[in-house]
Structure 1
Amino acid sequence: MRKSLMRMTLRQLQVFNAVCDTRSYSRAAEEMSLSQPAVSLQIRQLEELIGQPLFDYVSKKLYLTDAAEALKRASLDIFGRLESLDMQLSDLQGSLQGQLKLAVESSAKYFVPHLFAAFRESHPEVSLQLVVINHAQAVRRLSANRDDLLIMSQVPQDGSLEFLPFLDNPIVAVAPAGHPLCAETSLTLQDLTPWPLLIRETGSGTRQACEDYFHQKRAHFAQTLELSSTEAQREAVIAGLGLALLPRHAVRRELEGGLLRELPVRELPLMHSWCLVHPRGKYLSPVAQTFFAFVRGERARISALAARFGGRPANR
């Protein structure tokens, strides 16, 4: 190892990460409560230790060099290890402490807070950093190793991931109360195709799963409206703009309250499993290890917890 690298300080790495995140010396200085010359000095010293420039300026914009990208990955690992050490020391004192960095696909965001609340009953000093993303973003975050764990429904089959299926994610067809199809007792996907279909944006796992299923069943919707969130889909259905295929968990309250009706489509629900995922070989912090073990060991409890979200509500 280069001896110069041993002279890097944690403070320098903190300043460097702030510049990477803000793409600005002045904003990094404000975030770190430092002067801008102090930030410039810390970066200049880092560049001398590494022997390469860390940032390029192009058209008044700051870009990371290849050396900065490598240093960024190493610094995240270093701070992750220190955070893990803090957790282990807390564990030795008899309590699990720290933060769980969890990214979830949007279809799971309605259930995950309840899952974490159940986990916190045994580990009250663990905090949560929750990021809600779509499927395409989840794949990118896995590649970048940005989170402790991810919850997603369609795990890429590339062999580089460890995953634990733990709960069904039923996707159902919904219509506004009073829609003509609500009077039917049995439908097929083909029966839905004359009506406008509200779909998620490109990159959504639910959209991809539904499109694959439509292709398999030869169901073609001539008119579609694209919306960027499950909430927008749900409200658009209530407003009468069309039908939608949505996770039952996401519309539980609207089904129970009578604003929406679940259509009796014979080919539905479309079943996928939510999976807890991390890169194979990734070092998991004590908090992440404990949460993973909780999900693996409490299947019955999790299923009971999800019953009020995933059960088929009575149509009103």
Structure 2
Amino acid sequence: MNYTLHQLQIFLKVAEVKSITKASEELNLTQPAVSIQIKNLQNQFDIPLTEVIGKQLYVTDFGLEIVEIAKNILNEVQKINYLTMSFKGILSGKLNLSVVSTGKYVIPYFLSDFLKINPGIDLNMDVTNKLKVIKSLEKNEVDFALVSVLPKKITLNSEILLDNKLYLIGNKEVIIPNKPYGKSIFNTIPLIYREEGSATRLIMEQFFERNEIKAPMKMQLTSNEAVKQAVIAGLGYSIMPLIGSNNELKNKELQIIPVFGFPITSDWRLVWLKNKSLSPVAQAYLDYIKKEKEVIVQNHFSWIYTL
């Protein structure tokens, strides 16, 4: 057997995306280079690792077994690298984060300088929906999660990073009144909702419930980006986090519709399991956040507090 770590890395990516073309794009390699490495790896075995049915690539049962072994091999190699850096006094290891979708506008600013200071740390960050974020916390798969609504059934520690302000948003053609609308406006406008389980939708529905507002749903969309495009196109209005709409507001594609009782507010929080033993990398990140968060907010998010 003469397979290499490089071949195993490429095979893992091909198995993940189920495509030579996509794997080459994500690995920044040419398609022929990926194909050659997969062929060289396959030549080590008498049993197929992959098969093509129609135009779709599939990993065989044998290939899936090799995938798991390859993961273990590469993880052990990574541990050697971390150990080497540790003996040199360099903080090293993995930092695992799970972030709700709108949090992608927040978390990079709370990571950038930390990762520059600590080049030995590898970041593994999953940007996904709220339900998957909660599952990753429940299964103890991540060091931290970023949420705007605390889950009720998990005991967590948390560190507040930033205010989360939500406004009623319309497109550039909406005529803004001289004084804010009353809450009865929600009975008369076509309102675009996020999908069930979304933190944005939960905050919105809690506001409606507290104020005994009936707000008919015009349509339901599964991401903030989709909602923004629908509002820009004039399909309706939506209650949206300011953090994800700043560029469109600056470009005057969207505008805030003034309503009494707005903005609705919550907090962007870094959360972790109550009794979790933090790794040295995770503890270092938490210490960094506690020390630097006010400076980060001032440098990158002060505009939130001027509206």
Bin the TM-score by the shorter chain: 0.7 to 0.9
Q: Which residue does the alignment assign to 2:281?
A: 287
Q: Could you tell me the TM-score, scaled by structure 1's length?
A: 0.71
Query: Is 1:251 paired with 2:245?
Result: yes
Match of 2:290 among 277, 296, 299: 296
Provide closer, same or farther for how the CA distance between residues 178 and 31 of structure 1 changes in structure 2, counting only shifts above 3 A: same
CA distance in 2, matches of 1:215, 1:274: 22
Q: Which residue does the alignment assign to 1:195?
A: 189
- SS at 2:91 equivalent: coil
Query: Is 1:142 paired with 2:137?
Result: yes
Q: Which residue does the alignment assign to 2:231?
A: 237
Deviation at 1:198, TM superposition (A): 1.0
- SS at 2:173 equivalent: coil
Q: Which residue does the alignment assign to 1:48?
A: none
Provide closer, same or farther for how the CA distance between residues 238 and 36 of structure 1 changes in structure 2, counting only shifts above 3 A: same
Worse-matched range after superposition: 100-109 or 112-121: 112-121
Deviation at 1:312, TM superposition (A): 4.3
Q: Which residue does the alignment assign to 1:163?
A: 158
Q: Which residue does the alignment assign to 1:209?
A: 203
Residues 168 and 239 of structure 2 are in contact (CA less than 8 Å); yes or no, is this contact kept in structure 1? yes
CA distance in 2, matches of 1:131, 1:260: 28
Alignment of 1:1-316 (within 5 A): 87=82, 90-158=85-153, 160-180=155-175, 182-308=176-302, 310-312=304-306
Provide closer, same or farther for how the CA distance between residues 160 and 86 of structure 1 changes in structure 2, counting only shifts above 3 A: farther
Unaligned ranges ≥5, structure 1: 1-10, 25-29, 41-61, 64-71
Amino acid at match of 2:111: F
Sequence identity (%): 26
Residues 136 and 205 of structure 1 are in contact (CA less than 8 Å); yes or no, is this contact kept in structure 2? no
Residues 87 and 285 of structure 1 are in contact (CA less than 8 Å); yes or no, is this contact kept in structure 2? no
CA distance in 1, matches of 2:151, 2:91: 32
Residues 96 and 144 of structure 2 are in contact (CA less than 8 Å); yes or no, is this contact kept in structure 1? yes
CA distance in 1, matches of 2:276, 2:77: 16
Deviation at 1:79, TM superposition (A): 9.3
Provide closer, same or farther for how the CA distance between residues 159 and 234 of structure 1 changes in structure 2, counting only shifts above 3 A: closer
Unaligned ranges ≥5, structure 2: 19-36, 48-59, 62-67
CA distance in 1, matches of 2:156, 2:150: 8
Amino acid at match of 2:108: P
CA distance in 2, matches of 1:145, 1:304: 32
Provide closer, same or farther for how the CA distance between residues 184 and 89 of structure 1 changes in structure 2, counting only shifts above 3 A: farther
Q: Deviation string for 1:65-87 (max 9, x for gaps)?
A: xxxxxxx9xxx999989967854
Deviation at 1:274, TM superposition (A): 1.3
Deviation at 1:35, TM superposition (A): 5.3
CA distance in 1, matches of 2:255, 2:261: 16
Deviation at 1:32, TM superposition (A): 12
Deviation at 1:186, TM superposition (A): 1.3
- SS at 1:103 equivalent: strand
Amino acid at match of 2:271: V
CA distance in 1, matches of 2:143, 2:299: 23
**C-alpha RMSD of matched pairs (Å):** 4.0
Residues 193 and 220 of structure 2 are in contact (CA less than 8 Å); yes or no, is this contact kept in structure 1? yes
